[in-house]
Structure 1
Amino acid sequence: MCGLVLQQDIFRKSAEIGYWIGEPFWGKGIATEAVRLLCQMGFEKLGLVRIYAGVFPINVASMRVLEKAGFQFESIAKKALIKREVIYDDYIYRMTIEEWESSKKKV
């Protein structure tokens, strides 16, 4: 499952990307390919200029998915997430339209 959450108002040219894949399918490149396809749709069809994702610091596999898809690490939002009553930092990754265009040239 994957999708883009389009932002509104002054953020309307941005979207948050999210994805989930069942454990039997981990390590097969499926999530990375889904992220790439969503970015293509976002930039080329929806006119976005920025796509971003927040990742729990313990989810190294998700960070790797984003990095393989061409995302750049942007920042850490300290103590921004809570899951099962544990507070975590939020690791923010992003891809801009310029980075997307540049990554297409490398393929």
Structure 2
Amino acid sequence: MNADPATLPPPQGEGFLLRPWRRDDLDSLVAYADDAEVSRGLSDRFPYPYTRQDGERFLEGQVVDLDHPVFAIEVGGRAVGGIGAHPGRGERAHGAEFGYWLGRPLWGAGLMTRVVGAFAPWAMRHLALYRLYATVLDGNPASARVLAKNGFEEEGVQRCAVYKHGQVHDLRVFAKVRRSLQDAT
């Protein structure tokens, strides 16, 4: 249960494969990430425009720690999005924040709901988590629906938490918890 997440087989699901990012994902990464609509609901470390240099920096582990469970979402042999978790430290090591994104051509078909549905229980089980949470920008109701459909409960709102594109935004906080490691997720 506490094995190194980088060595664990990622979860799988219907119509997609989760796998580690590879250098040969660069073209696909840039093609799907370079979209203002994709970046609008994400942190600024996911820029727009998304350049080849941004993709290279990500694939080299300069943007997020790729030693944590950070996976490409593969559909039809191409990396079309990503999902990953960042475990806490110290007294917060029992929890992790996670995030995800998907290229716009794949929106609206339930793919991200299925991806989160496979990833969340896997992350809780293999990282021995009691808490898995995500924050959602106030202007991203689709992401909030993905979380709600997967049993995440909205815990509250961090008011005026993000300044993005010249506007202040609230962050909605969603979490899934369990009281013991034996509880089903």
Taking structure 1 as the reference length, the TM-score comes to: 0.87
Larger helix proportion of the pair: 1
Tell me, yes or no, if the aligned pair for 1:43 and 1:97 is still in contact at 8 Å.
Answer: no
Q: Deviations over 1:27-48 (max 9, x none)?
A: 1211111112221222211100
Match of 2:117 in 1: 36
Displacement of 1:19 in angstroms is 0.4
Structure with bigger RCO (C-alpha 8 Å, 6+ apart): 1
Among 168, 176, 179, the alignment partner of 1:87 is: 168
Rg (Cα) greater in structure: 2
Displacement of 1:97 in angstroms is 2.2
Q: What is the 5 A alignment of 1:14-25?
A: 14-25=95-106
Match of 1:59 in 2: 140
Match of 2:20 in 1: none
Aligned mates of 1:85, 1:10 — CA distance in 2: 35
Query: What is the aligned residue count?
Result: 101
Aligned mates of 1:53, 1:64 — CA distance in 2: 12
Aligned mates of 1:36, 1:5 — CA distance in 2: 17
Larger strand proportion of the pair: 1
Tell me, yes or no, if the aligned pair for 1:4 and 1:38 is still in contact at 8 Å.
Answer: no
Among 128, 131, 153, the alignment partner of 1:47 is: 128
Among 68, 72, 76, the alignment partner of 2:153 is: 72
After superposition, the CA RMSD in angstroms is: 1.4
Among 94, 119, 126, the alignment partner of 1:13 is: 94
Q: Give the gaps of 5 or more residues in structure 1.
A: none
Tell me, yes or no, if the aligned pair for 1:2 and 1:18 is still in contact at 8 Å.
Answer: yes
Q: Give the gaps of 5 or more residues in structure 2.
A: 1-81
| Residues 29-38 or 10-19, more deviating | 29-38
Taking structure 2 as the reference length, the TM-score comes to: 0.52
Q: Where does structure 1 differ by over 3 angstroms across 4 or more consecutive aligned residues?
A: none
